[in-house]
Amino acid sequence: MSPVARHVKPRVLEALGDTRIVVVQGARQVGKTTLVREIVGAKGGRLESFDDRLTARAASEDPIGFLSAAPDRLLAIDEVQRVPELILALKYVVDRDTRPGRFLVTGSANLLKLPAIEDSLAGRTESIELHGFSQGEIAGHAERFVDRLLTGERFADHRSDLHRRDYLERAVAGGYPEALTRTPGRRRDLWLDNYVNGIVRREADDVSNLQRIAELPLILRVLAARNSGELIVADVARETEIPARTLTPYLELLQTLYLTQHVPAWATNLAKRVVSRPKVSLLDSGLAARLINVSAQGASPDGNPHVAGGLLEGFVAGEIRRQLTWSEETARIGHFREQSAGEVDLVLETPDGRVAGIEVKSTAAPKAKDAKGLAYLRDRLGKRFVAGVILHTGTTAGAFGDRIAAVPMDVLWTT
């Protein structure tokens, strides 16, 4: 695979222009080091990695000296969470020299969710998420679906050559750069298996002292089997045989490690019976597929078609989250379900109150009932509701009423 341009790179460069510490964080093996190496090379900076034990030890023994060795150059530090002593030193150094763009650090955990780091870095950093490759990055195209949807576009003229099997193959492949270099099948499966085991052995231990870390792969498998479903802790506890009262910290750890994403329930007092539980899915749909041992063929109508819906919804949610890291529009993401009004898989809301809805269907021919939740939001929100789309696996788009359309799923990365 040729080098892939990361769409979030301009955001990192922009942040270095006015922020003292820029943090690029995301799961292990999503390309953080590669991106930072490019930026350091362009700026004539220095990159130090705490994957190297000697470098980590030097930083731990003299953190202020380590940070002050080249004060006039950008210093990039890879996997900063491995030397927690450096955090207070970073605070000390940047409080005494407030010039922007001094430090660029990466972490394979959400650093601002770690108690020892959150208070120290607050107000001094800009955090930018990096995920596995988006479909647009793989194709060499900068996606603008989120921006266009939130301005009211409904993509009624969109056409596609892809079919359900094509979308499932993309979902099953996922976005981890290294995994995508492997031949689909056994070679890629082995990489994903080793990835999960490596996360448990190293990354989780770096940021947590929980006692049952070895059970994280089991929790992940249970969540993958329920991909994009509402999080019912009691059910997960029953299937993992981990008491519900102790399960929550493990679910939070999976989020901190960028392995899962929670999509919170969205509501503005629209109805009294709005479901308040979040949905949870794996951030990489390829990892989700591997954990439940399913291929694109296995999720076909001739195999186990019931897993296709959750897999494709998680795939779409991951693509939307990726786009939100570089889109011009800023939006919060949620989901909506009310017992009589229907549901909307993803709801995007901008700071000025505009709302767009996305419903994901594995069918090639969505029906009018699939727009029920979107129509409910439109009717209750009025002008605040700018657009709703039903993303499906067919080849043509069509109108489903005022401000609502059914559109082939590849509109996510071809617009």
Other residues' Cβ atoms within 10 Å of the Cβ of residue 95: 10
Label the pairing between strands 229-230 and 260-263. Answer: unpaired
For residues 193 and 182, give the distance between their C-alpha atoms in angstroms, rounded to a whole number: 13
Rounded Cα gap, residues 104 and 366, in angstroms: 46
Report CA-CA distances (Å) from 250 to 108, 197, 226, 284: 16, 16, 17, 18
Structural domain spans, the chain: 9-129, 135-414
Name every residue whose Cβ is closer than 8 Å to that of residue 147 and which is 6 or more positions away in sequence.
327, 328, 329
Q: How confident is the prediction along the chain (415 residues), in pLDDT tens digits per residue?
A: 568 999 999 999 999 999 999 999 999 999 999 999 999 999 999 999 988 889 999 999 999 999 998 888 999 999 888 888 888 899 999 999 999 999 999 988 776 666 556 566 777 889 999 999 999 999 999 999 999 999 999 898 999 999 999 999 999 999 999 999 999 999 999 999 999 988 877 777 767 778 888 899 999 999 999 999 999 999 999 999 999 999 999 999 999 899 999 999 997 665 555 668 999 999 999 999 999 999 999 988 877 878 999 999 999 999 999 999 999 999 999 999 988 888 999 999 999 999 999 999 999 999 999 999 999 999 999 999 999 999 999 999 999 999 999 999 999 999 8
Q: CATH top-level class for 9-129?
A: alpha beta
The Cα 408–Cα 135 span in angstroms is 14
CB 260 within 8 A of CB 254: yes
Model pTM score: 0.93
